[in-house]
Chain A
Amino acid sequence: MSEKYETHVKSILSECPDADPEEVAAAFEKYETEFFIPPQDAMRSILRRFKGDKTPTPSSGSSGGSSAAPRNTRKVSSLSELKGDDKDIEIEVEIISHNIRDQTIRGEQKQIAFGLLEDNPWEENGQKNRWEYKDWGPNSNITPGSVVRIEGASVNEYQGKMSLNINQSTRIAVVREGTRPITAPGEPQDIDSLPSDGYVCVVGRILASRPDQIHRKDGSGSIDIVRGRLADESGTIGFLSWEPLEHEVGTLLKIEGAQVRTFRDTPELNFGRTTKIEIYHDKNFSDADTLSQQTVLTLSELRDGARDVDAVVQITEWTKRSFTRDGEERFLWSGQIADPTGRCRMSAWSELPITEDKLPITVRLKGVRVRAWQGIPDITVDNADQVEFLDAPPWDSDLDLTTHTAEVELFELSTGASRVGVSTSATVVSVREDSGFIQRCTECRRVLRDGACAEHGPNDGNADIRLRLAIDDGRSSVSLLTNKQATLSLLGMTESELQDTVNDLGQVAFVQSLRGKMLGRTIKASGRTIVDEQGAMMLADGAAMVDEDAGLRATEIRAQWKVA
């Protein structure tokens, strides 16, 4: 045996004098060559092996058990219940205002926050008291307009005036997120950073404006409204005015007290009786042509509910369908469209001069709207004049968009809109226990749980195969579902081979075997994504594990990061 492990072997022998030096050296070699564990790291494992069970178990106690002393917090519902020397109190309040200032405390620059809070936050018109507060934390989750539960604050009385001290040890639990505008009224905000609800002030140019009508659901008539789009240099937003709005396209307006409402996934400004709209003068503000460039979207940027969208797309399939409404035959045209960032559907309510032999054909769409069906965006064309035919696509015309998939980073997919025709690579961080054979509801294709559908109750179901994984790039996590064909090709099995494997191993061991194959490895998957408030999901029709060479990667990393 080589002398390579001499010092390590000696060290083991000093603890286990009866051990065979050859055997110990062989163990070191095995750890090193088969498991890439250098001798100094294998020491303990080898020592344990040669000592047998004689290793004393450590005496330190098991974990758990919080060390925090029990608190004697006094819970009050109104500020009026408090006295000047009360400590460690708990109360729910609404934060009225919140300001931050720098203060020097014991020679150290520190930020503290102060403002007004109000008790009795839940009763609409009840008796309310306002106090000042100081937050020495300062806690990042105190925001104006939010309702918080303050646990462990103390009362401060100075010259008869009471205020609340929030300390570093005070717990702040946000009970309701802020709904009031955070910026002072009259302070314009950038359009791309508007909140998803609440009242705001914006300065923007009108890019589109047209009268419209909303029909009352009960059939008692209709309301005249104005719809349009407003832009500043940061972005654009659709608006809906319930009051007459006669400003022309191109006019620069200051709008105070507009309400942001989110319709489907798209925020929209609402102007009502209390909204103040006036012409604004700013020579440096971009003109309408410059601003309208921003409304040109790629398919990857389409969001459900968007209006006044401009886009350049290729129509790859186009069909005419008929249906009957109110006893009258009507027509709808629809098909597949694509651009280099992905694919989606398009529908038109009026006939476009498209014939089968002209496909694929490139068009510029103007002022169209977007609906989504099961997560797939669908562009709606209401009038034929919204479509302009182009001679050639503005991208490489050799690109076959019917088969093209756009390679997109996982982080971008998880934060963007739902997309079709994309692929991504990421690490497998979970193989769910319900991967493999499943039963789907015969009505809605939902996966049956214990033989029953959440919607349609017990049924026999149709057998299907899928994997349910979580994939991760260190910044975002996406749920990945592979369909039957992708699953079988990923596992390199036929359906009956898979059935045999699951029968042999049982479901738990089968899933564990998948983890053995996939966990921590990179997978490349292609298909479509659905992104909503609950996160992102990818439905894959293709998936493969990526083979990587560790030695090569290590050398690349050394070069890239200049580590010798």
Chain B
Amino acid sequence: MQSGTRAKRQSAWHMLASEFSEATLNEKGSGEYDPSFVITKLGAKVNRVVVAGLLERLEVRETSNGSTLYQGQMRDPSGLHYFSVGDYASESMRELTMSLVEKTEVGEPVLLLMVAKSRWYQTDEGAVYTSLRPEEACEIDAQRYALWLTRACEDTLQRMKNYSDSLAAEPTREGLVAAGIPEHMIDGLLVSRNHYGDIDVETYTLNVMQALDIAEGRMDAASQPVAAPSQTELPGDAAPSGAESNDDEVKDTLVSIIEQLDQGDGVDFETVLTNAVARGFDRGLAEEKLDELSNEGTLHEPRFGWFRIVG
């Protein structure tokens, strides 16, 4: 009974950046005021999130129609969130944003917590980007950040469990209900499984472990000596793509894309490239590497333009 003109407020998910930024599926209801959702690999149907992290960048941009847009990125242990604050935002949100621009300009560290709406868009090449529109936000101290981390971890673990429980169940609403999947996860899990295929949840486990280390104040355990800033990052709308990625990373990604999507006949050229671009790689570079993988004998082409992994 979802009729009626005024929709109920959508609930908010506590979520690490990796889960949100890896999402490439969205859903928009048919009605004008129907909410839109980004659906993550773990099946969270996200309209609103509570997220936190280090404000890493915040810049003003003048758009072509003369309005002002602030674009920012916020880092948590798992990755980055991209967000924007425009003229549509509330007065209080804009005032806060302006004060934060000043702080980032002088290099003052800011821990931010925001309640934000999920946004989704797809480029002409088919690459999918998620981003956030904060509704309300505030600066927090390390203790509150740690507390947010614990909540995000707990909820992520819960979703991972729901996800793995759902794998054994019949992929229908009734099947998931019978498997004990909570109601608010069912719709998302049904479509996410269809869209993403088999996913690797290992990285989420690592994210959670690292975040818990931080929350417990075990900073040494959470620190990594290797200093390659671009490595854990998933480029979004503000990140340059391609240039910083090393060749092996492109190849690994291409292979994993083909592994995931191959239903037996191989995966077509366009699908492989679209997915590579969606993961932040330059299309030209990906095309080049796809050739190399074929020449090396890692891939073969059972039909022209269709790729499979040899072996």
Q: Is the CB of B227 within 8 A of A41?
A: no
Chain A positions 25 through 46: 1 when the CB is less than 8 Å from some CB of chain B, otherwise 0: 0000011111111111111110
Given contacts A60-B238, A67-B123, contact A173 B30 (CB under 8 A): yes
What's the least CB distance linking B261 to chain A, in Å? 14
Query: With the chains together, A60 CA to B240 CA distance in Å?
Result: 7
| Residue from A62, A141, A509, A555 whose CB has the most chain B CB atoms within 10 Å | A62
Tell which of A41, A47, A474 touches B77, judged by Cβ atoms closer than 8 Å: A41
Q: Is A534 an interface residue (CB 8 A)?
A: yes
Query: With the chains together, A108 CA to B265 CA distance in Å?
Result: 12
Segment at the interface with B among A342-350, A447-455, A556-564:
A556-564
What's the least CB distance linking B224 to chain A, in Å? 5
Q: Interface of chain A, helix or strand or loop or mixed?
A: mixed
Query: With the chains together, A470 CA to B208 CA distance in Å?
Result: 27
Given contacts A45-B54, A557-B157, contact A563 B208 (CB under 8 A): yes
Residue of A nearest to B62 (CB): A62
Query: With the chains together, A397 CA to B231 CA distance in Å?
Result: 64
Given contacts A429-B12, A475-B182, A553-B150, contact A519 B113 (CB under 8 A): yes
Q: Is the CB of B226 within 8 A of A7?
A: yes
Q: Is the CB of B226 within 8 A of A40?
A: yes
Q: Is A508 an interface residue (CB 8 A)?
A: yes
Q: Is A409 an interface residue (CB 8 A)?
A: no
Tell which of B31, B137, B155, B238 touches A519, judged by Cβ atoms closer than 8 Å: B137
| Residue from A10, A62, A474, A521 whose CB has the most chain B CB atoms within 10 Å | A474
Given contacts A40-B224, A45-B56, A49-B107, contact A557 B84 (CB under 8 A): no
Q: Is the CB of A561 within 8 A of B50?
A: no
Q: Is the CB of A472 within 8 A of B92?
A: no
Interface residues of A in 520-540 (CB under 8 A from B): 520-521, 533-535
Q: Is A11 an interface residue (CB 8 A)?
A: yes
Segment at the interface with A among B211-219, B267-275, B283-291:
B211-219
Tell which of A473, A511, A533, A561 touches B11, judged by Cβ atoms closer than 8 Å: A473
For B195, what are the chain A residues with a Cβ–Cβ distance below 8 Å?
Answer: none
Interface residues of B in 142-163 (CB under 8 A from A): 142-151, 153-155, 157
Q: Is the CB of A508 within 8 A of B215?
A: no
Q: Is B81 an interface residue (CB 8 A)?
A: no
What's the least CB distance linking B60 to chain A, in Å? 10
Tell which of B59, B109, B143, B227 touches A550, judged by Cβ atoms closer than 8 Å: B143
Q: Is the CB of B227 within 8 A of A476?
A: no
Q: Is the CB of A41 within 8 A of B75?
A: yes
What's the least CB distance linking A502 to chain B, in Å? 14
| Residue from B69, B115, B129 whose CB has the most chain A CB atoms within 10 Å | B115
Q: Is A171 an interface residue (CB 8 A)?
A: yes
Q: Is the CB of A48 within 8 A of B8?
A: no
Q: Is the CB of A32 within 8 A of B223?
A: yes
Query: With the chains together, A481 CA to B15 CA distance in Å?
Result: 27
Q: Is A97 an interface residue (CB 8 A)?
A: no
Report the interface size class on chain B: 35 or more
Query: With the chains together, A390 CA to B52 CA distance in Å?
Result: 55
What's the least CB distance linking A356 to chain B, in Å? 44
Given contacts A477-B10, A519-B136, A520-B52, contact A554 B223 (CB under 8 A): no
Q: Is the CB of A31 within 8 A of B11?
A: no
What's the least CB distance linking A1 to chain B, in Å? 16
Residue of A nearest to B28 (CB): A171
For A45, what are the chain B residues with a Cβ–Cβ distance below 8 Å?
Answer: 54, 56, 75, 107, 109
Tell which of B1, B11, B237 touches A196, judged by Cβ atoms closer than 8 Å: B1
Residue of A nearest to B91 (CB): A508
Q: Is the CB of A171 within 8 A of B217?
A: no
Q: Is the CB of B209 within 8 A of A563?
A: yes
What's the least CB distance linking A151 to chain B, in Å? 9
For B142, what are the chain A residues with a Cβ–Cβ distance below 8 Å?
Answer: 34-36
Residue of B nearest to A52 (CB): B107
Tell which of A7, A49, A141, A474 touches B227, judged by Cβ atoms closer than 8 Å: A7
For A516, what are the chain B residues with a Cβ–Cβ distance below 8 Å?
Answer: 138-140
Tell which of B9, B111, B140, B238 touches A470, judged by Cβ atoms closer than 8 Å: B9
Interface residues of B in 50-81 (CB under 8 A from A): 50, 52, 54, 56-57, 59, 61, 63, 69, 71, 75-77
For B215, what are the chain A residues with a Cβ–Cβ distance below 8 Å?
Answer: 36, 550-551, 553-554
Query: With the chains together, A458 CA to B222 CA distance in Å?
Result: 60
Q: Is the CB of B223 within 8 A of A39?
A: yes
Q: Is the CB of B219 within 8 A of A58?
A: no
Q: Is the CB of A550 within 8 A of B91?
A: no
Query: With the chains together, A500 CA to B153 CA distance in Å?
Result: 40
Given contacts A511-B92, A519-B115, A554-B215, contact A58 B240 (CB under 8 A): yes
Q: Is the CB of B31 within 8 A of A174?
A: yes
Q: Is the CB of A34 within 8 A of B212?
A: no
Q: Which 9 A-B residue pairs are closest in the complex by CB-CB distance?
A: A49-B107, A550-B146, A11-B227, A554-B215, A173-B30, A553-B150, A477-B9, A550-B147, A515-B138
19 contacts between A and B (CB under 8 A): A11-B227, A36-B146, A38-B222, A39-B223, A44-B57, A44-B75, A48-B57, A427-B50, A470-B9, A473-B11, A477-B8, A477-B11, A512-B96, A512-B138, A516-B140, A550-B150, A553-B215, A554-B215, A563-B212
